[in-house]
Structure 1
Amino acid sequence: MSQSALSARALYWRHSLILAGGLLGALLVTAIILTFGETEFNAYGFFGFPLGFYGLAQGLILLIAGGGFWYARVQDRLEEELGESEEF
């Protein structure tokens, strides 16, 4: 493998790790805020449910699923930019 191919692959992996770490960090911070702030959020309502309960029961699941779809879209774009795309 040539030196430029190795540096392009290293750049691809660096961007991939930053993207994955950033998403996981954001999800972790959100989960911690919702978990420890549940009692404060319960003072407000959302569709008749306390907001803290609704945020943990539904919101966190939707956030994780949405984060997964967002990650896949951004990762595909990154693979196309850096030439690491593998089409089946």
Structure 2
Amino acid sequence: MIDDEQRPRYWRHTLFLAVGMTAVIVFGAIALPLFAVELNETTLLGFPLGYYIASQGLMIALIVAVYWAGSRQARTDSKFGATEDM
């Protein structure tokens, strides 16, 4: 259970993580496709870079980002005593 005096710090950490992850997802899903034409001038493994990023890179980056955010949130939970006891 989180102490009342630590609760604002806990939620500030959690909010910062959520906003940061949302920014990463928005950048990857919206901003990178805007540069697809310029990225397609470069090739990676024989594919245009814009295509490769859209088909493989964003999926891999999203999986890594979600795993990182989950582990970071778990560390924040344990730091503030918000872990679940089973």
Give TM-score, length-normalised by structure 1: 0.87
**Counterparts of 2:31 and 2:75 in 1: how far apart (Å)?**
30
Of 65, 68, 73, which residue of structure 2 is paired with 1:67? 65
**2-side partners of 1:44 and 1:61: how far apart?**
20
Deviation of residue 32 (structure 1)?
2.5
Q: CA deviation at 1:23?
A: 1.3
RMSD: 1.5
Aligned residue pair count: 85
Letter in 2 for 1:80: S
The answer to which structure has the higher helix fraction is 1
Same amino acid, percent of matched pairs: 33
Partner residue of 1:48?
Answer: 46
2:22 aligns with one of 21, 24, 28: 24
Paired amino acid for 2:75: R
In the TM superposition, residue 30 of structure 1 has moved relative to its aligned partner by 2.8
Which one has more relative contact order, counting CA pairs under 8 Å at least 6 apart?
2
Q: Tell me if 1:5 matches 2:15.
A: no
Partner Cα separation in structure 2 for residue 9 and residue 85 of structure 1: 14
Name the amino acid aligned to 2:80.
L
Uncovered stretches (5+) of structure 1, i.e. residues with no partner: none
- The TM-score, its normalising length taken from structure 2, stands at 0.88
CA distance in structure 1 between the partners assigned to 2:45 and 2:10 by the alignment: 44
Amino acid of the structure 1 residue aligned with 2:68: W
